[in-house]
Each structure stands twice: as structure tokens, then as C-alpha cells.
Amino acid sequence: MPKRSRKAQKSHTKLQELVTVFLADDIEQAREFETLLKSNDIPAMVRQRHDESGVEIRFAVLVPEESADEAHVIIESQDVYDEFYDFSPDEQEEENEFDEDVFDDNY
């Protein structure tokens, strides 16, 4: 039986330990999350994947399995942060409009 080199064994082990924490439709979004995770000291990488039909290309953000929970928390907090800043002041004004008649004094 041929022996594997240590380098081949080590890289094979690393690939088995990586898990997908986010699937993006475009490479830019995947790279943003990769950078976000790396800035929070979580090793991350992006790999191109085909969807279940084998037609559409998606981009998977991968992290070591032991960092998956922390990566999910960081990604979710970034999504909440983005949604907060996507809310424009114009939308807020429309939602807070009152019926002017409510404040009229008819006494």
C-alpha cells in the first residue's frame, strides 16, 4: 500500500474539517463575508459551488468546523447591521405619519 506524504494527509484533513457557513449568489458578497470573518480572527475561504440542479453557480464561504458557531453569529450580526442601515429616513417618516385630525381640539 503506497504511503501518502504528510503534506497530502494534512491538506486532506483540513478539507474535511471545513464547513459552509454562507452561500452567496455573487463572488463580491462571498468575499465581503470572508474578509469580515478574517477580521474577526476566523480563518475563512471562498469556493465556487454548483447548486443542486448543477446549473447555477454559488459561492460558499467555508470555515473550520470548530469556528462555525462563532462565524454564524458574526454573519447574522452583520445582516442585522446591514438591514438597520438599509432603512432610509424617508421610509421612517412615511411610517410615522399621523392623521392630522387626531390632534385637532374640537372642544
The structure's pTM equals 0.60
What pLDDT sits at residue 78? 83
In this predicted model, what pLDDT tens digit does every residue of 15-69 receive, in sequence order?
558 999 999 989 999 999 999 999 999 999 999 988 778 778 899 999 999 999 9
Domains of the chain by range and CATH? 14-92 (3.30.70.1530)
What pLDDT sits at residue 13? 46
Instruction: Report the Cα–Cα distance between both ends of the chain, in Å, rounded.
Output: 98
Nearest to 33 by CA among 2, 58, 13: 58
What pLDDT sits at residue 56? 81
Evaluate the CA torsion angle 53, 28, 19, 74 in order and state its sign.
Answer: negative
What pLDDT sits at residue 40? 95
